[in-house]
Amino acid sequence: MSQPKHIHHYHRHMSISYPVSFRQRLYSLVVVPLILLIAAGFVISRLGGQTLPSLPSLSWGLLILALLATFLRLLLAYALALVLAVPLALLISHNQKVERVLFPLFDIVQSVPVLAFFPVVILFFVHFNWYNGAAIFILLLTMMWSIVFSVVGGLQVVPSDIKAVGKVFKLTGLKYITKVLLPSVVPYLVTGSLLAWAGGWNIIIVAEVLHTYIPGGSSSKDLFGIGNILVETASSGQQHSFFMALLALVAFVGLMNFFIWQKLLRYAEKFKFD
Amino acid sequence: MIIFKQVNKIYSGGTQALKDVSFEVADEELFCIVGPSGCGKSTVLKIIAGLEDPSSGEVRKPTNVGMVFQSGALLPWLNVFDNVALGLRAQNAGWRKIKEETQKYIEMVGLNSLEQKLPRELSGGQKQRVGIARALAINPQVLLLDEPFSALDTGTTEELHKDLIKIWQQTKKTIVMVSHSLEEAVTLAGRIMLMKAGQVDGIFEINLPYPRREQAHSFIEEVHKLRHAFFE
């Protein structure tokens, strides 16, 4: 089957290598975040916001709860993104006609900044008084495209002999998908998920501060989460609290990387065809 | 029993991979198809396997077919046992039967102690043995081999030749094997079909007893005969 040239370059060469030794992993957990935090601290202290009398600093307990709230939102959005993205990727790869219609469409949709849609989406959810819904919807749209394109790329490089094995040994339909195709794309699924979460963390800063998008909205409608805290403390010049929140976020993401992503990347090696 | 009658295969780009190919393979025969790259031998095999359909002509082939690939094509996330059991599991056979059959064929190819290993822990020769066991485990009516030993070193290949003959004599399966090597075909086959540019160049019988390389003179004679037939 001859494929449109542009598909060849999509996400197929994005492979994230994982640190091999424990020492390297520790570097990624400690050294890199440390450098980032020091740099951030430097910038903040130089360019700090208005010097309002700072309120007492946030408690770590509050920060941890906020992180958890944000994390749960991301988790839910990710789960929904998986449920939508994987079947979509399978659909695009299965049928050349479908591919020709959907692929350019998705290409356009994913490149439009999600935040540009934000006000429209907000208005819809505001109608139902469901602000968490709005945030999760935005997250979902941000996260799903990385997964779709990664999996599509992965499906394109399944060796033709492997596909032949499926046919010869009578693995058809659902069995073919679950026992041959999906395992084949596990490395791409992990890469796509990692990228999805990275995008998600980015968007969450904004998605939790909804009142700026609602005409006549008040901050009482904002969602509780780390994104909200970061924005509020930064804009009101509470440098110390901001830095604490930033530290908490970086630590959390670093720990996620250490305990989850690196383990997943190592697990995904088992599924590679080399 | 496999029958090809004036089979043509033309791909959508216009290339004619097969032109008027006709031959028959009898039951329990070891039949080799030999020719240079692009001669259509793999296409013939794919049609027997059901992976391709002929553009025209008549094909009679069995429905239950096992295939061994040049690249091995083992699923990298499954260990030896699960790879060999793949076809049986697809048929929803009972777990007892799966266990028995899988172990029987793993033993037949000489890999008993390696059931738990993953493909990346195996040598090239071992991977091909797994491939053979996997193809035999479904009890196919015909066993197809697509240049299975091309990527292996000579020593391993010779070992596998001997074992393939043993397995063939033991299981009495019909075997169709594609090869680019005349020597390999003369070592193994009862009949050899030479192909060139999509057409059948000749079908030859080899009447030497097994094992063949041991009888150096007759072996070399047969190879020379075929070479002449092929290059005239």
B171 and B113 in a common domain = no
pLDDT at res. A117: 67
pLDDT band at A13 (very low <50, low <70, confident <90, very high): very low
Is the pLDDT confidence value at B181 over 70? yes
Q: Which residue range forms the structural domain that includes residue B32?
A: 2-63+141-231
d(CA A91, CA B82): 28
**A58-271 CATH fold:** MetI-like fold (1.10.3720)
Question: Is A272 within 8 Å of B87 when comparing Cβ atoms?
Answer: no
* A159 shares contact with chain B (CB less than 8 Å): yes
pLDDT band at A235 (very low <50, low <70, confident <90, very high): confident
Q: Locate the domains of chain A by residue range.
A: 58-271
B28: region left, alpha or beta (phi > 0 left; psi from -120 to 50 alpha): left
B71 located within any domain? no
Domain's final residue, options B120, B140, B160: B140
pLDDT band at A7 (very low <50, low <70, confident <90, very high): very low
B203 and B132 in a common domain = no
B151 and B55 in a common domain = yes
B126 and B100 in a common domain = yes
Tell me the count of A-B CB pairs closer than 8 A. Answer: 50
d(CA B180, CA B34): 5
* A170 shares contact with chain B (CB less than 8 Å): yes
Is the pLDDT confidence value at A5 over 50? no
Question: Is A270 within 8 Å of B90 when comparing Cβ atoms?
Answer: no
> What average pLDDT is seen over chain A?
80
Neighbours of B132 (CB within 10 A): 24
Q: What is the pLDDT of residues A185-234, one digit of tens each?
A: 999 999 999 999 999 998 887 777 766 666 555 555 567 788 888 888 88
d(CA B33, CA B10): 20
Question: Is B73 within 8 Å of A170 when comparing Cβ atoms?
Answer: no
Is the pLDDT confidence value at A25 over 80? no
Report how many domains make up chain B: 2
B195 located within any domain? yes
How far A109 CA sits from the closest chain B CA (Å)?
A: 34
B31: region left, alpha or beta (phi > 0 left; psi from -120 to 50 alpha): beta
B90 and B56 in a common domain = no
Mean pLDDT calculated for residue range B23-32: 95
Mean pLDDT calculated for residue range B140-158: 95
In terms of Cβ atoms closer than 10 Å to its own Cβ (0-12, 13-18, 19+), residue B200 is buried
Is the pLDDT confidence value at A4 over 70? no
Higher pLDDT, A43 or B180: B180
Percentage with pLDDT > 90 across chain A: 35
Q: Which chain A positions have a beta carbon within 8 Å of B75's beta carbon?
A: 162, 165, 180, 183
Q: Write the ipTM.
A: 0.91
B190 located within any domain? yes
B53 and B148 in a common domain = yes
How far B223 CA sits from the closest chain A CA (Å)?
A: 31
Domain's final residue, options B119, B140, B161: B140
B43 and B13 in a common domain = yes
Is the pLDDT confidence value at A9 over 50? no
Q: Which of A89-93, A138-142, B209-213 has the lowest mean pLDDT?
A: B209-213
pLDDT at res. A222: 63
Question: Is B66 within 8 Å of A168 when comparing Cβ atoms?
Answer: yes
pLDDT band at A133 (very low <50, low <70, confident <90, very high): confident
B6 and B118 in a common domain = no
Mean pLDDT calculated for residue range B213-229: 83
pLDDT at res. A112: 77
Mean pLDDT calculated for residue range B148-164: 94
pLDDT at res. A6: 44
Is the pLDDT confidence value at B81 over 80? yes
Mean pLDDT calculated for residue range B39-58: 94
CATH classification of the domain holding B217: 3.40.50.300
B204 located within any domain? yes
> What average pLDDT is seen over chain B?
93
Question: Is A159 within 8 Å of B49 when comparing Cβ atoms?
Answer: no
| Confidence (pTM) | 0.83
pLDDT band at B224 (very low <50, low <70, confident <90, very high): confident
B159 and B136 in a common domain = no
Q: Which of A55-59, A185-189, B82-86, B98-102 has the lowest mean pLDDT?
A: A55-59
Search chain B and give the residue with CA nearest A174: B90
Q: What is the pLDDT of residues A38-89, one digit of tens each?
A: 777 777 666 654 444 444 567 788 888 888 889 998 999 999 999 999 999 9
Search chain A and give the residue with CA nearest B79: A270
